[in-house]
Amino acid sequence: MSLDVSDPLALARACAAAMWEKDLASRSLGMSLDAVGPGEARLSLTVTAEMTNGHKTCHGGYIFTLADSAFAFACNSYNQNTVAQHCSVTFMRPAFEGDRLTASAREISRIGRGGIYDIRVTNQNGEHVAEFRGHSRTVKGTPIPAPG
């Protein structure tokens, strides 16, 4: 069965599947890849005791990592290897052990080799935990082999 590269959703899903297979970091933290489409992705994870800091809240690095992973799947959905050029995060409220966090990434702009993506992290109650903005840059290569 060959991939129909003219179908943007099928292409995004194939890119995500290829990346997910190699993404030991996201998988080892217990993340799940919940949805992907052209320029968008949604990942989630449950905060474990090992992810909490001295305040008994989720360490910000884990929240950043979840958002960064959603960013990666969103910006690599066009079968062009894409990396982070710059990222920033604003923490809105704490997350706690047992919380289920969801990072929803959406493309804001993609021009030439650069892109801008906003990623909202929410908890299981839909409360806004963090806002992440990622700037991407395409590099050589593709997540899946180019047809032909």
pLDDT at 21: 97
**The tokens of 112 are what?**
């030439």
Query: Tens digits of per-residue pLDDT, 101-140?
Result: 999 999 999 999 999 999 999 999 999 999 999 999 999 9
- 44 near 100, Cβ under 8 Å? yes
Q: Which amino acid is at 73?
A: F
pLDDT at 147: 65
- Ranges of residues in the chain with a pLDDT under 70 are 1-3, 147-148
- CA dihedral sign of residues 25, 39, 136, 91: negative
CA–CA dist 44, 101 (Å, integer): 5
Q: What residues have CB less than 8 Å from 56, skipping those under 6 apart?
A: 96, 97
